[in-house]
């Protein structure tokens, strides 16, 4: 452990005067200031004196010990590696089912479902706004019938599944539960995650349907339902990933994501839930961006801040409530269409930073994702990248190898201080919902994103192959091209479904859902009834639109 000696200050100053200065005078440095990709200035050298004010026992502690800066597991990856979970989905449920079987066959250890835009927005394939979008960015799921196909031959009792779905998360989750039931898997044993994070949709990703307040109620309904009925399910994945992709800095990603997490806990408590009954099932999702050490510091600060917030702000008593578990994904926004093979290298380094930061689950991007959804070959290479890190580099032999680094500990501490300042600002506004209604995080992100773009244009930040080291003849690579037949097949199936299902049962369950939405009762039971009747996702979302209306944002540039 680090001990801070006052003598170190003198040593560093003497080194600066005697050893450093002559070298700087003689050779100079490449730039007058050095900054992270987020624009944070970085000193030339960090030493013991930078750790003044950091109490190792209180602020860093050992792995598995509060506040978990060094990790939530005592044994790090020596006990168990992270889950290699590759996000996948495209076209029809039939096509995606085949891709899942290939990924599991190649040694993937969990599934992660990417849905298309109509599914994310709660629209059936025959809605005018779905034109051209069916199956393009993910798999199209219209009803329980599609969900049955998606997991055909995959035993839901034996794998864990993550589903990236937000506004209609409760409905898609209900479909999953019914498929599990059909397969004979008990809900008590099911494990997986729904993203279910609406705040970051309003802040960054913008796939919202209903206004903030009824949206938050849907989420607390899922918390309450799962606490009793599906206790091993991660009810939410509070996501910084999309906030970062939209242009936030590492610090903003950390601050807004954790403050979103606090907002959900507050709403759960206000809905009458006991903190220790639902907080252990809250998980997180961070971006693994390119600035190596800044990312590692971000993950370490996140664990520490969550532990403290849960214990001190909410009085959580269970250690399980204090431990922040997170998935990470390498930065899609860092991928370049130019010289796409460079993306393999970027992704490997980003994935390594997530591992050194103690990620519990990881998705590595494919080299072709600046151009299209990944081909099977590219997706397999991304999985292999994770396997090389896990089994060849040796970084998994030791817990938190960077713990105690002057630089990493100082960055971790600065990240925490910066994020706490954002917390104060947001608390003063009355909370995250209010801050969003005022456009506060949206403005902060738009500003950072524009500033970064300008830095790239001025070449203050180099992107290899884009603004430097440009190659005139960049040979094209093979990409996955999604044709229109997916839409046609989904439309045909929807047509057949509407003709064969018991229409009176559909109408009755939808009426019941619409009525329940206007009362405080938990919406999961009426949603499950409508799902079992093969009501479509669009029909169920329309019932809720009738009750709650739709959200429209005031755009902030």
Partner 1 sequence: MRRLRVVIAKPGLDGHDRGAKVIARALRDAGMEVIYTGLRQTPEQIVTAALQEDADVIGLSILSGAHNHIAPRLMELLKEKGLDDVLVVIGGIIPDVDVPKLKAIGVKGIFLPGTPMQHIIDFINANTRARV
Question: Which residues bind to partner 1, rule: CB under 8 A?
Answer: 117-118, 120-121, 123, 128-133, 136-137, 201, 205-208, 245-247, 333, 336-338, 370-372, 446, 449-450, 453, 457, 463, 466-467, 476, 479, 481-482, 552-557
CB of 345 to partner 1, least distance (A): 17
CB of 307 to partner 1, least distance (A): 32
CB of 242 to partner 1, least distance (A): 9
Count of C-beta atoms within a 10 Å radius of residue 515: 13
Alpha-carbon distances, residue 347 vs 165, 224, 325, 509 (angstroms): 24, 38, 21, 46
DSSP-assigned states of every residue in 175-242: HHHHHHHHHT--GGG--EEE----HHIIIII----S-HHHHHHHHHHHHHHHHHH-TTEE-EEEE-HH
Place of tokens 């250690």: 319
> Exposed (0-12), middle (13-18) or buried (19+): which is 323, by Cβ within 10 Å?
buried
Q: Which is nearer to partner 1, 333 or 395 (CB)?
A: 333
- Angle at the Cα of 77 from the Cα atoms of 285 and 275, rounded to 5 degrees: 45
CB of 545 to partner 1, least distance (A): 14
Count of C-beta atoms within a 10 Å radius of residue 557: 6
Q: Which is nearer to partner 1, 65 or 337 (CB)?
A: 337
Q: Which is nearer to partner 1, 140 or 161 (CB)?
A: 140
CB of 71 to partner 1, least distance (A): 32
Q: Which is nearer to partner 1, 8 or 446 (CB)?
A: 446
Whether the CA torsion 58, 59, 62, 63 is positive or negative: it is: positive
Residue 235's φ and ψ, nearest 5 degrees, are -75, -15
CB of 352 to partner 1, least distance (A): 24
Place of tokens 């501490």: 413
Q: Which is nearer to partner 1, 3 or 481 (CB)?
A: 481
Alpha-carbon distances, residue 164 vs 205, 271, 308 (angstroms): 12, 25, 28
Q: Which is nearer to partner 1, 180 or 335 (CB)?
A: 335
Q: Which is nearer to partner 1, 110 or 135 (CB)?
A: 135
Name the nearest CA neighbour of 62 among 404, 426, 549: 404
First to last CA, the chain: 47
Q: Which is nearer to partner 1, 342 or 387 (CB)?
A: 342
Q: Which is nearer to partner 1, 223 or 440 (CB)?
A: 440
Q: Which is nearer to partner 1, 270 or 550 (CB)?
A: 550
CB of 127 to partner 1, least distance (A): 9
Name the nearest CA neighbour of 420 among 344, 312, 522, 500: 312
CB of 411 to partner 1, least distance (A): 26
CB of 513 to partner 1, least distance (A): 23
CB of 367 to partner 1, least distance (A): 14
Count of C-beta atoms within a 10 Å radius of residue 24: 11
Alpha-carbon distances, residue 7 vs 4, 11, 168, 226, 402 (angstroms): 9, 6, 59, 55, 24
CB of 293 to partner 1, least distance (A): 25
Q: Which is nearer to partner 1, 257 or 321 (CB)?
A: 257
Q: Which is nearer to partner 1, 201 or 529 (CB)?
A: 201
CB of 500 to partner 1, least distance (A): 28
Alpha-carbon distances, residue 502 vs 379, 425, 508, 509 (angstroms): 41, 53, 10, 11
List the beta bridge partners of residue 329: 287, 363
CB 154 within 8 A of CB 104: yes
Strands 236-239 and 233-234, by their bridges, are unpaired
CB of 485 to partner 1, least distance (A): 14
Q: Which is nearer to partner 1, 233 or 440 (CB)?
A: 440
Q: Which is nearer to partner 1, 40 or 123 (CB)?
A: 123
Adjacency order of strands within the sheet including 282-288: 233-234, 192-194, 161-164, 110-114, 83-88, 361-363, 326-330, 282-288, 236-239
DSSP label at 40? -
Show the tokens assigned to 359.
Answer: 């990620």
Count of C-beta atoms within a 10 Å radius of residue 422: 20
CB of 124 to partner 1, least distance (A): 12
Buried residues in 429-444 as b, exposed as e (16+ CB within 10 A): eebbbebbbebbbbeb
Name the nearest CA neighbour of 234 among 282, 200, 177, 278: 282
């Amino acid at each position: 452990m680090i001990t801070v000696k006052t003598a170190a200050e003198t040593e560093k100053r003497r080194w600066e005067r005697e050893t450093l200065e002559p070298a700087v005078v003689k050779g100079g440095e490449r730039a007058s200031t050095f900054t992270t990709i987020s624009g944070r200035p970085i000193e030339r050298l960090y030493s013991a004196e930078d750790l003044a004010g950091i109490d190792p026992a209180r602020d860093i502690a050992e792995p598995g010990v509060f506040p978990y800066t060094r990790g939530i597991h005592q044994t790090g990856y020596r006990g168990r590696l992270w889950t290699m979970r590759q996000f996948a989905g495209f076209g029809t449920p039939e096509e995606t089912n085949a891709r899942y079987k290939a990924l599991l066959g190649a040694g993937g250890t969990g599934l992660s479902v990417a849905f298309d835009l109509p599914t994310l927005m709660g629209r059936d394939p025959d809605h005018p706004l779905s034109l051209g979008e069916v199956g393009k960015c993910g798999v199209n799921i219209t009803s329980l019938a599609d969900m049955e196909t998606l997991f055909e031959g995959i035993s839901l009792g034996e794998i864990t599944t993550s589903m990236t779905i937000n506004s209609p998360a409760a409905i898609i989750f209900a479909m999953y539960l019914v498929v599990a039931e059909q397969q004979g898997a008990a809900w008590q044993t099911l494990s997986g995650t729904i993203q279910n994070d609406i705040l970051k949709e309003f802040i960054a990703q913008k796939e919202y349907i209903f206004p903030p307040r009824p949206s938050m109620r849907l989420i607390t309904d899922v918390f309450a339902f799962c606490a009793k009925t599906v206790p091993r399910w991660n009810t939410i994945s509070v996501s910084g990933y999309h906030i970062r992709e939209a242009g936030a800095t590492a610090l903003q990603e950390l601050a807004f994501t954790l403050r979103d997490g606090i907002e959900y806990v507050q709403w759960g408590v206000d809905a009458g839930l006991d903190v220790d009954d639902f907080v252990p099932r809250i998980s997180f999702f961070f971006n693994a961006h390119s600035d190596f050490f800044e990312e590692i510091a971000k993950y370490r600060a996140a664990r520490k801040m969550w532990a403290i917030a849960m214990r001190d702000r909410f009085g959580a008593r269970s250690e399980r409530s204090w431990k922040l578990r997170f998935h990470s994904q390498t930065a899609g926004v860092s991928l370049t269409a130019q010289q796409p093979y460079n993306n393999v290298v970027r992704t490997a380094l980003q994935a390594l930073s997530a591992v050194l930061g103690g990620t519990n689950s990881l998705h590595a991007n494919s080299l072709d994702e600046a151009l299209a959804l990944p081909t099977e070959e590219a997706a397999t290479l991304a999985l292999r990248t994770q396997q090389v890190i896990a089994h060849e580099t040796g970084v998994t032999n030791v817990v938190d190898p960077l713990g105690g680094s002057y630089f990493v500990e100082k960055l971790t501490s600065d990240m925490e201080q910066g994020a706490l300042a954002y917390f104060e600002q947001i608390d003063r506004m009355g909370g995250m919902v209010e801050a969003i209604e005022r456009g506060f995080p949206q403005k902060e992100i738009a500003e950072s994103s524009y500033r970064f773009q300008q830095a790239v244009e001025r070449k203050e930040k180099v992107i290899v192959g884009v603004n430097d080291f440009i190659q005139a003849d960049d040979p094209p690579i093979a990409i996955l091209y999604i044709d229109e037949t997916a839409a046609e097949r989904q439309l045909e199936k929807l047509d057949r479904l509407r003709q064969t299902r018991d229409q009176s049962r559909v109408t009755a369950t939808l009426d019941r859902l619409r009525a329940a939405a206007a009362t405080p009762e938990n919406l999961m039971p009426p949603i499950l009834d409508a799902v079992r009747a093969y009501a479509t996702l669009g029909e169920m979302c329309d019932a809720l639109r009738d009750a709650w209306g739709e959200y429209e944002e005031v755009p902030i540039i």
